[in-house]
Structure 1
Amino acid sequence: MQVNVETLSNLERRIKIAVPFAKIDVEVENRLKKVARTAKVQGFRPGKAPMKVVAQNYGLQVREDVMNDTVNASFTDAVRENQLKVAGYPRFEAVEGENGEAFEFAAVFEVYPDVKVGELADKTVEKPVTEVTDEAVQKTIDVLRKQRVTYSAVDRAAKEGDRLVVDFVGKIDGVAFAGGSSEDFPFTLGQGQMLPEFEAAAQGLKAGEAKEFDLAFPADYHGKDVAGKTAQFTITVKSVSEAVLPEVDEAFAKLLGVADGNVEQMKKEIRENVEREVARRLKAKTKDVVLAALLDVTPLELPKALVALEVQRLAEQTKKDFQSRGMDVSKMPFPTDLFTKEAERRVALGLILSELVDSQDLRAKPEQVRAVIDDFAASYEQPEDVVRWYYADASRLEGPESLATEDNVVAWVLSRAKVEEKSFSFDELMGANQNA
């Protein structure tokens, strides 16, 4: 086999390979002999047909199979012999032979770039920090109370936070429209369930009272038939109920899973859960800034084939996500440019992290993997069962191993970069989750 490697660009290569036809003919003959042992040919018993007849019936298919196998095997051997790291899939091209004695073809492909992680000594990395205060724990308790709110009917004017049950009828130019009327419709004032004009009209009404008002639908309203139009509504309040939050007492503690109803134990467990969640979010933010730093100091030329594969993967992932939400994606366009930037980021990080893990020996140690699993298990009632589940199947350890390896990369970067702490308040870190 003759091989010639040509450099087309920084990452693109072209291999020209020539395999003697004599070698191919020998393989075709050998395979035909194997086929002949069991070949079913009309007029002959299985395995008794002459080789000439077997060749007439099976020769073309066998030769095609041999040629395909020759292309793949020869390419694999050529890549190995020339120590090339192929990125993505090769594109095979037919080559016109010069002497007719060899089967010649070419493969065009990209190789992985040489990755050299940039200098981090002068790179500033802002490490997020947040203190879990008593106030933060109390806010979490308040959220848990709101999640278990009940409502009690009151005989007064409705105000923000009250739950109302109403009948309403909406008309445009005196004609009722689809979706503009309802009976026994419940909503809570101040939660943004209804348009502002609707909530404003309901506020201040008591059970049994009614009101007429105009409502201008926004131009971008999801209901296209009424978007940009003004409707006349009549609303009748049937009941007004005020929110009743549970007291922080023994019953509440039991509701949260503390068997003996000990309030102090409940607060202790809530603090532990909050601290665990804060640590998780800080860890994720730290990882983000570390990865951004690595990208900044390590410019790379990316193999187009790898980016294309990642774009395809992201698009398929998005389609599946939409489908899981009940959306019809059969006619939905998924332009590749929507995913290109993120695909490039992921490919670059994959190359950088792979190089770091190999060159700096940052693979996770067994005890580190166990620490990750223990952290996962800590939030369950029976953590030992969770641990056993992970170790019952080696494939389940891949996730924890990957996370532990990433932790090693983050620690390695932080040990070399200029680290400055950046404080986040509890509310900033937790975001909308604390407003539930």
Structure 2
Amino acid sequence: METNIQTPGDAAGGLLRELHVKVPADRVAQAIDERLRSMAHRAKIPGFRPGKAPFKVIQQQYGPGARVDAVSELVQRTFPEAVMKTGARPAGQPNISIIAEQPGQDLEYTATFEVYPEVQLSGLDTLEIEQPVVEVTEADVDRLIENLRKGRRSLAPAGRAAAPGDVVKVDFDGRLDGETFAGGQGKDVEIELGTGQFLPDLESGIAGHAVDETFEVPVSFPEDYRAEALRGKVAQFSVTVKEVQAVTLPELDDAEFLKAHSVESPDALRAKAREALENERGKAIQRRQKAQVMEQLATRNPLEVPKALVESEIPQLRQQAAGRMNMQNVPPEKLAEMLPAQLFQGAAARKVQLGLLLGEVVKLKQIKLDDARVEAALDSLAADFEQPDQVKAYYLTKPEMMTGLRAMVLEDQVVDALLSEARRTETPMSLEQLLNPKPAA
């Protein structure tokens, strides 16, 4: 078998390869002969008992179909052989084109495919990482407990005009220069006054009005509002109040409230809240440092990535986006139309790039998967559920889920190895700054 691999002329320097393969005619003939003989044992031809027809009759009856099948099988069998001879590393499935396959002649075909890029790591010894230094304060604990109380709140008709802290139900109709605009209308919309759910002018304009009142509120849109047509504009909203409900929070020593959080006293609740915040602090610091490592690794090691691998990542990213948007039940075809592939090209390319770079770090530093860390990661994941043992058992019966968990643990081991050599700068910050960082301008 002859092989020849080259980079197509219009893809010089890229990852595309064209492999030319020539399979000797005698091997083709042998493959066709073997297929015909296997068919002869079960062939049913008029005038002959099953399996007793002369081979020449079998050739006449089934020869063309046997040739098509044999050629297809030869291509599938010889492509891996040919690739191995060239030493290429295909990324994705090849595109096969038959050049010649006439009786008595060699079989010739080309296989066009992308290859994995050559990875030469650099900059691993110069990583600079910001190390957050964060204290969990009593004020942080107070905020969490207040949020827990709000989560168990009760609502009752206020019997008065709306005030900050109330939950109101309203209809509204916004107009700009007398014309309606997208997003400016709503019916039975619930607003908790004072929480910043809606524009400040609208919330403050509702305060002081009672059920069944209809009134006008001028609302100013900020200069950086998401809808460009409304930026810096003032719209008139007609608002009708339909309900005003006062919010009552449970007392800290309320038995049902404490029971809901599996504690018996306010002090025990504070201790549990502090522990939860400290755990979240640790996870957030780990996430932030991992993000820094990944960003610097990618920036210092630009890499052309195979388009086939990028395309294979897009369906998973689309499904993750659908989950965040509560679109899990949308049919795949419709989902692909609503969330087209180009939305995920950049993220998919970055994911492939980082996967290739991390794989190279694993080889360079000879990192082995730590089974104890896999077990600990499974315990941590299951602990977030009411029946952790059942969750663990479920994971252990799902090979694909355990494969994903092991990949995550190995990735964390790579990050830890890189962090151990990085230069760290301690940066004091509040817990709020750590958990809710402001996006870069």
The residue type paired with residue 266 of structure 2 is V
1:404-415 residue pairs with structure 2 within 5 A? Answer: 404-415=409-420
Q: Deviations over 1:331-373 (max 9, x none)?
A: 547253x333222211111111111112322232211212222
Q: Does 1:17 align with 2:17?
A: no
The structure 1 residue matched to 2:137, chosen from 96, 114, 133, is: 133
* Kept after mapping to 2: 8 A contact 1:125/1:293: no
**Whole-Å separation in 1 of the counterparts to 2:324 and 2:389:** 33
CA pair 272-380 structure 1, distance change in 2 beyond 3 A: farther
Give unpaired runs (5+ residues) of structure 1: none
Deviates more, 1:352-361 or 1:188-197: 188-197
1:114-133 residue pairs with structure 2 within 5 A? Answer: 114-133=118-137
| RMSD of Structure 2 on Structure 1 (CA) | 4.0
SS at match of 1:324: coil
1:266: which partner in 2?
269
Report the Cα offset of residue 66 of structure 1.
0.9
The residue type paired with residue 302 of structure 1 is V
CA pair 95-287 structure 1, distance change in 2 beyond 3 A: same
Report the Cα offset of residue 140 of structure 1.
0.7
1:351: which partner in 2?
356
SS at match of 1:242: strand
1:339: which partner in 2?
344
1:292: which partner in 2?
295
Deviates more, 1:87-96 or 1:192-201: 192-201
* Kept after mapping to 1: 8 A contact 2:319/2:328: no
CA pair 201-365 structure 1, distance change in 2 beyond 3 A: closer
Report the Cα offset of residue 246 of structure 1.
1.1
The structure 2 residue matched to 1:281, chosen from 259, 280, 284, is: 284
* Kept after mapping to 2: 8 A contact 1:124/1:418: yes
Deviates more, 1:32-41 or 1:379-388: 379-388
1:217-366 residue pairs with structure 2 within 5 A? Answer: 233=238, 235=240, 237=241, 240-251=244-255, 253-258=257-262, 261-311=264-314, 314=317, 323-324=327-328, 329=335, 332=338, 334=340, 336=342, 338-366=343-371
**Whole-Å separation in 2 of the counterparts to 1:116 and 1:221:** 42
**Whole-Å separation in 2 of the counterparts to 1:197 and 1:345:** 41
Q: Does 1:63 align with 2:67?
A: yes
Report the Cα offset of residue 39 of structure 1.
1.5
SS at match of 2:126: coil
The residue type paired with residue 346 of structure 2 is K
SS at match of 2:51: coil
CA pair 161-122 structure 1, distance change in 2 beyond 3 A: same
1:159-198 residue pairs with structure 2 within 5 A? Answer: 159-164=163-168, 187-191=191-195
CA pair 129-47 structure 1, distance change in 2 beyond 3 A: farther
Give unpaired runs (5+ residues) of structure 2: none
* Kept after mapping to 2: 8 A contact 1:163/1:243: yes
CA pair 316-107 structure 1, distance change in 2 beyond 3 A: farther
CA pair 384-262 structure 1, distance change in 2 beyond 3 A: farther
Q: Deviations over 1:111-150 (max 9, x none)?
A: 2122122132233122334322222122111111111122
1:6: which partner in 2?
6
The residue type paired with residue 162 of structure 2 is A
* Kept after mapping to 2: 8 A contact 1:128/1:423: yes
CA pair 312-203 structure 1, distance change in 2 beyond 3 A: closer
1:43-122 residue pairs with structure 2 within 5 A? Answer: 43-95=47-99, 101-122=105-126
Deviates more, 1:79-88 or 1:308-317: 308-317
CA pair 231-107 structure 1, distance change in 2 beyond 3 A: same
SS at match of 1:416: coil
Deviates more, 1:317-326 or 1:349-358: 317-326
Q: Deviations over 1:67-118 (max 9, x none)?
A: 1111121111111233321122223234459997422222232321221221
CA pair 180-384 structure 1, distance change in 2 beyond 3 A: closer
**Whole-Å separation in 1 of the counterparts to 2:101 and 2:394:** 59
**Whole-Å separation in 1 of the counterparts to 2:140 and 2:313:** 40
1:343-422 residue pairs with structure 2 within 5 A? Answer: 343-380=348-385, 383-391=388-396, 395-422=400-427
**Whole-Å separation in 2 of the counterparts to 1:242 and 1:330:** 44
The residue type paired with residue 356 of structure 1 is V
* Kept after mapping to 2: 8 A contact 1:155/1:240: yes
The structure 1 residue matched to 2:431, chosen from 415, 426, 433, is: 426
TM-score normalised by structure 1 residue count: 0.81
SS at match of 1:362: coil
SS at match of 2:436: helix
Report the Cα offset of residue 405 of structure 1.
0.9
* Kept after mapping to 1: 8 A contact 2:155/2:247: yes
**Whole-Å separation in 2 of the counterparts to 1:168 and 1:121:** 59
1:141-156 residue pairs with structure 2 within 5 A? Answer: 141-156=145-160
Report the Cα offset of residue 385 of structure 1.
4.8
User: Percent same amino acid among aligned pairs?
Assistant: 33
**Whole-Å separation in 1 of the counterparts to 2:152 and 2:124:** 49
CA pair 98-171 structure 1, distance change in 2 beyond 3 A: closer
TM-score normalised by structure 2 residue count: 0.80
* Kept after mapping to 2: 8 A contact 1:160/1:203: yes
Instruction: State the aligned residue count.
Output: 423
Deviates more, 1:139-148 or 1:320-329: 320-329
